[in-house]
Every structure is written in C-alpha cells, then in structure tokens.
Amino acid sequence: MAIERCAVLGAGLMGSGIAAHLANAGFPVLLLDMEQRAAAAIDKLKKADPAPLMTPDAAKLITPGSFDDLSGLAACDWIIEVIVEDLAAKRAMYDRVDAVRKPGSIVSSNTSTIPLASLAKKQSDAFRADFCITHFFNPPRYMRLLELVTGPETRPEVGAELAQLCDVRLGKGVV
C-alpha cells in the first residue's frame, strides 16, 4: 500500500514536530490530541525556532482534530502514535485505533523506551502485522536519524515501505 495520508496521535512537542515534517514532505496529516490542543500546536509550529515547517504553506496540510473522534483514521495509510510514555495508555489508544483504521494501514509508535513486544501484546493479529516503532529524534526536521523497529509478527512489507519512505521522502538515515 502506498502511503499518501498520515495521522499523528499526540500534538505535543514530538507529535507536532513529526506532523510538520510529514507536511514538509507533502503529506496531508491529521493531527489528533485533546480538545483544542492540536489547533494550538499548529499555531506554535508557525512561530517555533528552529522552524519545524519549511514554508508557511506546509501548515495547511495539517488538519487538527480531537481524540474524541478517531473516524478520520480510516482514511490514513500511516498512523503514528506519539502519546505519553505509558504502556496502559498506549494499549488503550491502540484498541481504539484498531477499531477504526483501514485494513493494511501501518501503525507505529514513536516510543524510545517501551519494547515493541510489550506494546503489541494483547492487540489483534492484524494490528500486530501492521505495527512497528518509528522513533524520530527531536527536532524531527533537523535530526536525520530515525530508528525503525519491526517485530517477528510485523509484515516484511511494513518495514520495507517505511524504510524507503523515511529515507527518500523524509530524508532520514534509517537504522
């Protein structure tokens, strides 16, 4: 599946930075968080230094939304979770994501501390097949490194597609 539309779950410093970097590469991005936080994060992106957005127009590719309505995830090919580093919170979010995402869409976590096996445990077979870790470094636009972690249940195509996209479209050195 070609990745054409992305979603970022979490509009904090890392989540909004990842959304900006995806928008810089031309991807429409759905940025979800608690009520009003996503819209405020987009405004902050426009004023931040160093600039996470390459041009002001890139911000137009980011659509804010709320965790109260995840229905927009059904149109996304890559969903990146960037919420609090809490295993229970992440698993609860994955349950909600799995209920609305389209089959074959890739779901990744930006975690740097929680093992993939722990995150994927108790998730559906289909979710585990489409799940991996894509750990961006801060600030995402300027830090070239991206850590890609797949598991034994992750479809090989997931890792291959993300490695190619992150290298070519996002300019990342994938390890």
Mean pLDDT in consecutive groups of 10 residues from the start of the chain, 175 residues: 95 98 98 94 94 96 97 98 98 98 98 97 97 97 98 97 98 97
Known catalytic residue: 135?
A: yes
Q: Give the pLDDT of residue 105.
A: 98
Question: pTM value?
Answer: 0.97
Q: Name the CA dihedral angle for 19, 21, 24, 26, rounded to a multiple of 10 degrees.
A: -60
How many C-beta atoms surround the C-beta of residue 55 within 10 A?
A: 10
| Radius of gyration from C-alpha coordinates of the chain | 15
Catalytic residue among 3, 28, 135, 169: 135
**CA-to-CA separations, 4 to 7, 30, 83, in angstroms, rounded:** 11, 12, 23
